[in-house]
Amino acid sequence: MGKQNRFLDQLHMDTTSPFQLWDNGVAYTESCRGILDIGEGFIRLKLGKRAVTVWGDGLEVASFQDGRLLLRGRIVRVDFDG
């Protein structure tokens, strides 16, 4: 039950944040302007004026619509470029 409550708390996080990384291997944003590149072990996104690279294993775009992007997989690192 504790794990379930923690997951529900994550779903109710402040959605005004430009990029959120959840404990369950999910990354979420409401400000994605596009997917720049997808390669072996990474997905590169355009968030506002900034590029963001998500590194990991088994990464996939679960959904992308109206600027809302949901990634899932084993995320090991996130690089925020200038």
Which residues 6+ apart lie within 8 Å of 48 measured at CB? Answer: 18, 31, 33
CATH 2.60.40.2000 fits 2-80, yes or no: yes
Q: Which is more confident, 9 or 62?
A: 62
Query: What residue ranges do the domains of the chain occupy?
Result: 2-80
What are the pLDDT digits (tens) for 27-74? 999 889 999 999 999 999 998 888 999 999 999 999 999 999 999 999
Q: Is the pTM of this model over 0.85?
A: no
